[in-house]
Structure 1
Amino acid sequence: MLYPTPSITPDDQRVLDEVEQMRVRLRHQIQDRPGKWTSGLRKFLTADAVAASNSIEGFRVSTQDVQDLMDGERDVDVTDENREETLAYQRMMTYVQSLHDAADFTYSKGLLNGLHWMLQGHRHTPRKRAGQWRTGPVYVTDPTNRRVAAYTAPDVELVPDLMSELVAWLNADDATHPLIRAAMAHLHLVSIHPWADGNGRMSRSLQTLMIAREGVLAPEFSSIEAWLGRSVNTWAYYQELQRRGAVYRPDQDVSSWIRFNLTAYHQQAQTVQHQMDQSTAVWELLGEFAGRTGLDERVLSALHDVAVLDRVRRARYEQAEGLTLQQAQRDLRDLVAAGLLEPVGRTRARFYVEGPQFPAAVLELARTPFTLTPPYGE
């Protein structure tokens, strides 16, 4: 038995409508922007989601370092374990994102186990098998005391049938809004806990996949994993899951879970909208600066990364502009000579931050914080 999907309140419907309005606006903005410009934002949002979801499980790598790892940088100051977890999750998420328009798509046990192997294959052992259902009990420990079981998953004998029921539910076509169904899928999977490890990230990824399959907005702009990864929201996430009880009880009202997810959707949409607007404004201001100073337009992407993401590496700039190694090196050397950039580190580990002549107005615009509005007026 799975949790029944609760009816939404008029207040929930209002929040859902506001989320939809923001997502439609974002879609139109993305369609109106050059591919090169949106590509950088897509990469950042993917890296942010990977960094955030991994951080919930205790693997802490900054969004900037995740981006560097995604770009193939080797000299990134992270532990081997964090590197492996980051790259595994990034590969799995890349595949999830690619499924947004896959033809003849269907959910299956094989798909879910395949995604799990991509996430956990590097940790496969006879006791903790990747890509296969668990063979014994599994517990979610209290985040404040690892010796206390905050949740005990269903008996192992129940897992195959529960997963069959979940797959049938995923493939069913009902009248529930896709964002609500995605939230319920997350709850179903994380409650069944079918694998020995990686259940949290798999549940969040399934939610992202379902949102992506809806087709309203590209998956990079749809995931709530970055929102969940903020410390205050992570704690609220744990508390919300603990409200379901210490054991699997699907015969309960989960309206508070829906409200929690609607808040996440709303505030993540606000965040992405701000990042989109801010990034656009920064690009335009840098364009004006380049026009006044005679800078080549192609260096705007390097300056934009520094303003918005705090740094840029040579490889990222080279890839973004389709340059040769020598061209990228020359451009960055010229920007350093002009005082616009400043190198940090040596040789392959080097990256660039703003120099003393970097336009102050651009930095102020890029780094002014914004305020999130609670959708329920809390």
Structure 2
Amino acid sequence: MRHDLRHVVQQSPTKWTADLRRSLTASAIAASNTIEGYRVDPVDVADLLDGERDAVDASEENKAETLAYQQTMTYIQSLWDVPDFTYSKELLNALHWMLQGHHHPHRPAGRWRRKAIFITAVGDPHATEYEGPHEDDVPGLMAELIDWLNQGDLQADPLVRAAMAHLNLVKIHPWTDGNGRMSRSLQTLLIAREGVLAPEFSSIEEWLGLPGNTWEYYKVLREVGGPVYSPQRDALPWIRLNLRAYHEQTQRVQHRVKRSTDCWLTLAEHTERFHLAERQITALHEVAMVGRVRRSRYERAEALSNQQAVRDIQALTKAGLLTPVGNTKGRYYTAGPAFPADVLRIASRRHTITDPYQQ
């Protein structure tokens, strides 16, 4: 499935592939942050990635966490095809600084923790659900993990190996905060380093962030991890969960790719009818796929001047293809009364996700 998806992505028009990459990245960031209690809608995350901080209706804390995770993910995405890449203490701590540096020194970032770590049970701050290894053991455990990342089990299936990297890092819990997101990021990096799909198409963070899946994710982590650091425990339930996550998320991405492709091609069929420039399809495609577009986003996507972007959006609005929503500062555009109904039907097309391992 993943090799087939790679072929489809490589053969697709560059413009909508870039749009899809951005959307998948935003969904992964939103989902992983949601697991930790920082909630920003994926569409707003996409706006934040484009520098629209003032236009996004979210708390400053949530915005800061989103932008920090975006910085981390952007760097990870740049590492997937580096030929002389190696894992190191410095790399992991640098990634952690990108994620948590805005909390330093209140919550130390970019260095191993120097105190005990406890995970409390949901709803009961006095109940310990998991106790990480002693802080004096963290440097040695992390050195062992880094050696394994570089040299251990290299013949193992990359998807299984990536899942085990996630499990080992989150159970060592080497930092005072941000361990969950770092572990999920490390898993994404290992999958991407396999070379089949770029990180945006490889991450299972969106799947893990779905409410029912998040509950199961924590349940299996508790089952496999135990109440204290105990790496001798059976990891099979964890591998089973991850195999299901990989498969179901790949199905989700496949369906999204198909809808996105069909929307783009169908919009292209309407260019003559609406007297559209080819570049204007970009704005309409984003409306179809995510529900809205901002003028500034369209301007950057097509490398236009401000005046060109304004003229294009005004022309689309005058033609009834777009409808403005909100004031000047936070304004965005949704589908107008003349927006092609067939494109909207394609964008809202339903699909079924199946668990291939269910008996």
1:49 alignment partner, one of 16, 28, 53? 28
Q: Name the amino acid aligned to 1:149.
A: T
Q: Name the amino acid aligned to 1:288.
A: E
- 1:340 is matched with which residue? 321
Q: Give matches, 1:214-229, under 5 Å.
A: 214-229=194-209
Q: Name the amino acid aligned to 1:79.
A: S
**How far did 1:103 drift?**
2.7
Q: Larger deviation: 365-374 or 92-101? A: 365-374
1:271 alignment partner, one of 234, 246, 252? 252
- 2:103 is matched with which residue? 123
Contact 2:29/2:70, CA 8 A, preserved across alignment: yes
Q: Which runs of 5+ in 2 are unaligned?
A: none
Contact 2:188/2:199, CA 8 A, preserved across alignment: yes
- 1:262 is matched with which residue? 243
Q: Name the amino acid aligned to 2:95.
A: L
**How far did 1:295 drift?**
2.0
**How far did 1:294 drift?**
2.5
1:323-366 deviation digits (Å, cap 9, x = unpaired): 11111111111111111111111112100011111112211110
1:303-339 deviation digits (Å, cap 9, x = unpaired): 1111111100011111111211111111111111111
Q: Name the amino acid aligned to 1:232.
A: G
Give the distance between the partners of 2:284 and 2:132, measured in 1 at CA.
Answer: 49
**Is the partner of 2:323 in helix, strand or coil?**
strand
- 1:169 is matched with which residue? 148
1:325 alignment partner, one of 306, 321, 328? 306
Q: Give matches, 1:165-204, under 5 Å.
A: 165-174=144-153, 175-204=155-184
The share of aligned pairs that are identical, in percent, is: 58
Q: Give matches, 1:101-120, under 5 Å.
A: 101-120=81-100
TM-score norm. by structure 2 comes to 0.97
2:218 alignment partner, one of 223, 228, 238? 238
- 1:212 is matched with which residue? 192
**How far did 1:212 drift?**
1.2
**Is the partner of 1:246 in helix, strand or coil?**
coil
**How far did 1:173 drift?**
4.6
2:275 alignment partner, one of 294, 298, 315? 294
Distance 1:123 1:288, change over 3 A: same
**How far did 1:264 drift?**
0.4
Give the distance between the partners of 2:253 and 2:25, measured in 1 at CA.
Answer: 12
1:252 has 2:229 as partner: no
1:84 has 2:86 as partner: no
- 1:63 is matched with which residue? 42
Give the distance between the partners of 1:31 and 1:369, measured in 2 at CA.
Answer: 24
Give the distance between the partners of 2:234 and 2:91, measured in 1 at CA.
Answer: 29
Q: Name the amino acid aligned to 2:22.
A: K
RMSD (CA atoms) = 1.2
**Is the partner of 1:356 in helix, strand or coil?**
coil
- 1:137 is matched with which residue? 116
Q: Name the amino acid aligned to 1:218.
A: A
How many residue pairs were aligned? 356
TM-score norm. by structure 1 comes to 0.92
Q: Name the amino acid aligned to 2:6.
A: R
- 1:39 is matched with which residue? 18
**How far did 1:77 drift?**
1.1
Q: Name the amino acid aligned to 2:264.
A: W
Q: Name the amino acid aligned to 1:214.
A: E
Give the distance between the partners of 1:104 and 1:304, measured in 2 at CA.
Answer: 38
**How far did 1:270 drift?**
0.3
- 1:151 is matched with which residue? 130
**Is the partner of 1:352 in helix, strand or coil?**
strand
**Is the partner of 1:322 in helix, strand or coil?**
coil
**How far did 1:105 drift?**
1.2
Distance 1:173 1:153, change over 3 A: closer
**How far did 1:287 drift?**
1.1
Q: Name the amino acid aligned to 1:208.
A: T
Q: Name the amino acid aligned to 1:209.
A: L
Give the distance between the partners of 1:367 and 1:274, measured in 2 at CA.
Answer: 11
**How far did 1:375 drift?**
1.6
